[in-house]
Amino acid sequence: MSGTPIEIKLFSKKAREFIEWLLGRYPNKQAALLPVLRLAEEEFGNIDDSSVMLVADTLDLSPGYVWGVLTFYTHYRREGDGKYLLQVCSTLPCALRGCDKVQRRLEEKLGIKAGETTGDGLFTLKKVECLGSCDTAPVMQVNEKYHENLDVEDLDELLETLRG
Amino acid sequence: MAEIKQEKFEKVLTKYVDEDGSATLEFYRGHGGYEAAERVLKEMKPGEVIEAVKESTLRGRGGAGFPCGVKWSFVPKETDKPKYLVVNADESEPGTFKDRVLMERDPHQLIEGSIISAYAIESHVCYIYIRGEYYDAFLTMQKAIDEAYEAGILGENVLGTGFRLDMTMHRGAGAYICGEETGLLSSLEGKRGLPKIKPPFPAVEGLFGCPTVVNNVETLSCVTHIFDRGVDWFKSIGPPEGPGPKLLCVSGHVERPGTYEVPMGINLLDLVNDYAGGVWKKRKLKAIIPGGTSAKILTAEECDVGMDYESLAAKDTMLGSGGVIVMDEKTNMVNALYNILRFYAHESCGQCTPCREGTGWLAKICGRILHGTGRMEDLDLMIDLAQKMCGRTICVLADAAAFPCESIVRKFRLEFYAKINAGAGHERDIHTGGPLVQPGALSAHNQERLDELRGGH
Ligand SMILES: Cc1cc2nc3c(=O)[nH]c(=O)nc-3n(C[C@H](O)[C@H](O)[C@H](O)COP(=O)(O)O)c2cc1C
Ligand code: SF4
Ligand code: FES
């Protein structure tokens, strides 16, 4: 972690109550790690250093351990991710139905490659694996929402809607 | 579009999924829901429930096809430890999307099956581990669980029988390996999703070191109907070695991709033609992967086969997760294989050398063939590597990468030759400076086929 001081974060009252409930569902605190990371993501918009410290503190785990677990998983929203996470499925069934074109069009429109975020912090483009919706390929998940049967032509409109 | 030739077969698992409000408790109860669970909990002993499921020959729908009742019977009866039921709702095998339908459209069916199963193994705690991406399914399941608690269907006194059961949704966060049962349990314990060596099997030493049964969403949904309609009904559908209704997910190059409920053993071509509307754009069929990308591929000629455990095993492939991926005549198999291998290389957890290195190298070698810098020896190298990855690792992800690789390279070898040869014009062998494919490297027959293929370029 860098030399800049880490902002101290706290969970809201509602979140603390939820954690209380959550801890009653498992025989130890560690088991609540994934759900509490989710909660941090929801509360603060993403998971950064200070969220990791907070989660570690809440569950009596070391920050290093929490980092180790967090980085194993790809679906948490991390510091620096844009407001909208465009997660384009790239696995075989989607590939058979043209996800490459979707990916390329988004790269062109946004001027970024997979894994990058636009300068205005609005969009992060990601190539992800099978989203479990291959019957409506090609598919992209934008934050929590699935966009199915994507047509390259629809993408411009979708981006406009998201830009607001 | 072709008429759908629906069999006389009556759907049960997906009977109500298209109806408004199918996810609500009111709807479910209005259609006889929870009557089976109530009857089982009041009238049967746990051991009898296990025997009935054994008798039904229900086999796991998650991938491995292990007999469900047999797995339950491995849970020790005499133990001071708590026992756990874990629902595998990770659904991450490429080409699979059936559990999502079940959870989004009929969550109570899964809850009822889980109650019966928990009762059978005498567990009082059930976790549903759902992949993080399935947010709608998560919300729907959570709502259904809340409703069930309120109605006394879950909690201290399940359906007024005195049986206690707590059920908790647990969201994953994007890792294929968390679908593997021991990886899933690691993840549920708040760790990285690393698989563990078996034995000990989870039934004996699973979650938090306690006896644990892990079952797929569809498996547990089937349990509901085994006790609703009876063991004999279940056994009357499909082949005796693995009967029952089955959800098959058809994706890829068909007119109507989707989840179809069919009797186990349905002919694969009938599924594709009658249910999924046939190969799209009036094209010819080239190949089908019948059970998710971990299964070996079938060429068009091999697709006249029953979709059940034994028939597919006889064709040296598997039913797996029921993900039927259809490819038309224009599909480039080098491309398809590269896509598959890239997936496994990305998803390997990295614990075992044959898997970590093997998946990485398979993807690299296939990638260089695809990009025109492959060598003739690469094909044998891939097959050799794939064979050496099998059976040497903690979990079977390594095998899951090796199976499609070996079968695609073997069955579509000429397409790989064509790519290598096409690249050979500009890419030179680093040792000899000559073309990568030496003249005379192919048999006369293969050379002929190759010329044909190139002619078609
Ligand atoms: C790499 C890998 C991924 C798997 N993914 C899933 C999955 O997403 N969903 C599932 O139910 N089973 C999956 N399985 C199978 C599980 O390990 C396990 O066999 C299954 O959950 C048992 O339930 P069943 O007997 O009801 O099928 C996977 C296995 C492996 C090796
Ligand atoms: S086989 Fe692969 S995925 Fe499975 S434990 Fe070993 S390295 Fe991990
Ligand atoms: S391959 Fe894209 S959703 Fe399954």
Per-residue pLDDT tens digits of chain A, which is 164 residues long: 556 667 789 999 999 999 999 999 999 999 999 999 999 999 999 999 999 999 999 999 999 999 999 999 999 999 999 999 999 999 999 999 999 999 999 999 999 999 999 999 999 999 999 999 999 999 999 999 999 999 999 899 999 999 98
CA B2 – CA A162 distance, rounded (Å): 38
As a whole number, mean pLDDT of residues B97-126 equals 98
Q: Residue B237: is its pLDDT beyond 80?
A: yes
CATH 3.10.20.600 holds for B246-328:
yes
Indicate if ligand 1 lies below 6 Å from the C-beta of B63. yes
- CB-based burial label for B363 (10 Å; 0-12, 13-18, 19+): buried
Chain B residues within an 8 Å CB radius of A95: 335-336, 339
Give per-residue pLDDT as tens, B47-101.
999 999 999 999 999 999 999 999 999 999 999 999 999 999 999 999 999 999 9
**Kind plus residue range of the DSSP H or E element containing B47:** helix B46-56
C-alpha distances (whole Å) from B84 to each of B80, B166, B174, B183 are 13, 10, 23, 16
**At residue B423, does pLDDT exceed 80?**
no
Condensed to tens digits (0 to 9), the pLDDT of residues B424-451 reads: 654 444 444 444 455 555 666 666 766 6
Please report the pLDDT score of residue A164 as a whole number: 86
Strand order in the sheet with B285-289: B258-263, B245-252, B323-328, B285-289, B298-299
Report the pLDDT averaged over residues B148-157. Answer: 98
Q: Which CATH class is domain B333-456?
A: mainly alpha
Angle at B227 between CA B224 and CA B233, to 5 degrees: 105
Q: Does B193 touch chain A (CB under 8 A)?
A: yes
Domain with CATH 1.10.10 in chain A: 13-72
| pLDDT for B152 | 98
Domain range list for chain B: 25-235, 246-328, 333-456
Across residues B265-271, what is the average pLDDT? 98
B424, B430, B432, B433 alpha-carbon torsion, rounded to 10°: 60
Q: Nearest by CB to B343, which of A31, A129, A137?
A: A129
Residue nearest to atom 7 of ligand 1 (CA): B179
- CATH fold of A13-72 reads Arc Repressor Mutant, subunit A (1.10.10)
**CATH of region B25-235:** 3.40.50.11540
Q: Which ligand is nearest to the CA of B179?
A: 1
pLDDT, mean of residues B413-424: 88
Atom of ligand 1 nearest to the CA of B66: 25
For the segment B100-111, what is each residue's pLDDT rounded down to a tens digit? Answer: 999 999 999 999
Q: With a CB-CB cutoff of 8 Å, which residues 89-148 of chain A face chain B?
A: 90-93, 95-97, 128-137, 141, 144-146
CA angle at B32 for the pair B28 and B38, rounded to the nearest 5°: 100
Question: In this structure, what token pair is assigned to residue A81?
Answer: 């991710």
DSSP tally for chain B: helices H, then strands E: 18, 9
Contacts of B132 in chain A (CB under 8 A): 38, 73, 75
Among residues A144, A134, A70, the alpha carbon closest in space to that of B91 is found at A134
The per-residue pLDDT for range B2-21, each reduced to its tens digit, is: 344 455 689 999 999 999 99
- Domain span(s) for CATH 3.40.30.10 in chain A: 84-163
Nearest to B170 by CA among B110, B88, B94: B88
Instruction: Give the homologous superfamily in CATH for domain A84-163.
Output: Glutaredoxin (3.40.30.10)
